[in-house]
Amino acid sequence: MTAIISSSPDAKDDTITHIEYASPSAPQPIIKDKAGQFLNSTNHATSFTLEEETHVLRRIDYRILPLLLGAYFFQQLDKSSLSYVSVFGLTTDAHLHGKQYSWLGSILYLAQLVMQPLVAFLLVKLPTGKLIGGAIFCWGCSLAIMSACRNFGSLLGMRFLLGAFEAAIAPSCVAVTQMWWRRSEQTLRTSYWNAMNGITSIVGSLFTYGLGHIYSKHLYKYQVVFLFCGLLTVAYSAFVLILMPDSPVEAKYLTEREKVVAVERLRANQMGVVTREWRWDHVVETLLDLKTWCWFILIIAISIASGGISTFGNLIVKSFGYTSFETILFNIPFGVIQFLAIVGSGWLATHIKKKGLVIAIMAVPPIVGAILMLTIPRHQKGVLLFGYYLVSIMACITPLIYAWQAQNTAGDTKRKCTSAVVFIGMCTGNVIGPLLYSTNDAPLYRPGLISNLIMFALVGVLALLIPLYLAFLNRRHAKRRQELGKSADKVDQSMLAKKEIQNSKEMELEEGRQEDGQEGNPTRQEEEEVVDKGFADVTDLKNEDFIFVY
């Protein structure tokens, strides 16, 4: 076994940047991932300095992250527009009755649910940047056309189309996050783009407050809001189509050297980047993997609660005794709390590296808030509003689940299929959630709030149990490594900060030097044959070097 120790040709000192162990007899897997193929074909060295990686990461954050933030912002703004206009007489102007308003909330997620298998396939086969830009354009057009709808049937049809096109955006954001960032960086980036839920509540409330003062002889207020938001979304889609790269390998704004660094830094993820090859064995493994259904149950529970609150939130606040315009303005603190909770919980999960524990902690405030709204008399408006704001903290749980499942899945097709199952669960919960509420239950909305309370408790319990199964999988992989002659203990560099990686490599180098100095005592690396599966499109369950994160 030969140890290859390299440093960047541009480095001013002897800083170790890359350590590889190679064996002529080691059977290397077929490289199916485009990132791996790119590295094999480039003339640039795959080693890089900490400064190079920091520079490339900054360029990725400045280009890719803002585009994701905008895409998710407009998706949330457009689908939430129904809730914003609910306080301006939508049910009266569109002649809605019974559960028809509830169905307008649910049909969007029903459309997303139906579309998820197709979205998973398209994410594997099509250029990601073009798919995102095209989806934004189509759902923006759908919302703008919705301004012409004046009855339940037409509104229902256009809400279905809106949901069908929006179905691609959240899975795409997860896929892009997996494609561009290390696992240690993914949780915080996921929290950033998901925090647009809170920003949408702020900006959408201000938009609606201003647009609600427009009086027209030909358009109802809800039609003005739909038209404005839809046209704004269509305009944004042009920026995404022009500026969003399809993958790190295909990013024209990066130099050849920057592409090498952008790709090589992802090797430790053991997840791959992109293959554009659909694999049915990955699909089967997704369905047989217990983890898949753990994420499914967890996301469906929180989505039942969030679906009901997002659709009926404004009506609940209005039932406390506030006017329509006061209700809209009270949504601004709701959005601020959501934003702070999402970013704060993402930061906490990144630093303590225990997402299950953070999710369980974050389930407590919504439980308290639901109890307050169920028990406090209606004349105590301030306390009821405080309970409503506590419930808003639940928004931070969904992005943590997105990041958790994404970081524990490898293989291009399996990553997309697992995300599809998760988003099917999310859509199912959001279909069920609004149906547990009814305008006939006003002003108490007890059936819906009780169901939300149960779901919050279920989320907290599941979040504490799932890490036990992940720990079992890590022990099984450790045993497998030992059987193959590798060390059972493995440092997961993908979850380390950049400086921690540097220190880890230097320690590994020093240990190798010490062992090499002992005659007749071959090092562990000399005894084993190392096979790098980082870009081999191998799933997490079949790659013994994959480390599951809690």
Four-residue CA torsion sign, 438, 444, 450, 453:
positive
Q: What is the mean pLDDT of the chain?
A: 86
What pLDDT is stored for residue 506 in this prediction?
56
Q: Is the confidence at residue 536, as pLDDT, over 70? A: yes
**Residue 294 confidence (pLDDT):** 96
| In the chain, where the domains are located | 50-475
The neighbour count for residue 281, using CB atoms within 10 Å, is 12
Nearest CA among 137, 119, 133 for reference residue 175: 119
Arithmetic mean of pLDDT, 367-381: 92
Q: How many residues does the chain have?
A: 550
pLDDT in tens, 102-159: 888 888 888 999 999 999 999 999 999 999 999 999 999 999 999 898 899 999 999 9
- Least trusted range by pLDDT, from 66-70, 76-80, 167-171: 76-80
At 406 the pLDDT is 94
CATH topology of domain 50-475: Growth Hormone; Chain: A; (1.20.1250)
| 535: DSSP letter | T
pLDDT for position 499: 61
Mean pLDDT of 347-351: 95
pLDDT at 20: 41
> What token pair was written down for 73?
């912002």
Residue 371 near residue 353 (C-beta atoms within 8 A): no
Q: Does residue 393 have a pLDDT over 90?
A: yes
CB 430 within 8 A of CB 109: yes
**pTM for the whole thing?**
0.85
The percent of residues in the chain predicted with pLDDT above 90, rounded, is 58
- pLDDT given for residue 5 in this prediction: 37
271, 408 contact by CB (below 8 A): no
Q: What is the pLDDT of residues 230-285, one digit of tens each?
A: 999 999 999 999 999 999 999 999 999 999 999 999 988 888 888 889 999 999 99
What integer pLDDT is reported at residue 8 of this predicted model?
A: 45
Dihedral pair phi/psi, residue 5, rounded to 5°? -110, 125
The answer to whether 385 touches 330, Cβ cutoff 8 Å, is: yes
Q: Give the span between the Cα atoms of 232 and 226, in whole angstroms.
A: 10
End-to-end CA distance of the chain: 33
DSSP per-residue string spanning 252-294: TTS-HHHHHHHHHTTGGG-S--------HHHHHHHHH-HHHHH
pLDDT category, 511, cuts 50, 70, 90? Answer: low
Note the pLDDT of residue 469. Answer: 97
Percent of the chain with pLDDT over 70: 88
Q: What is the pLDDT of residue 430?
A: 84
pLDDT confidence of residue 531:
61
Determine the average pLDDT of the residues in 191-197. 94
Helix and strand numbers, DSSP H then E, in the chain? 22, 2
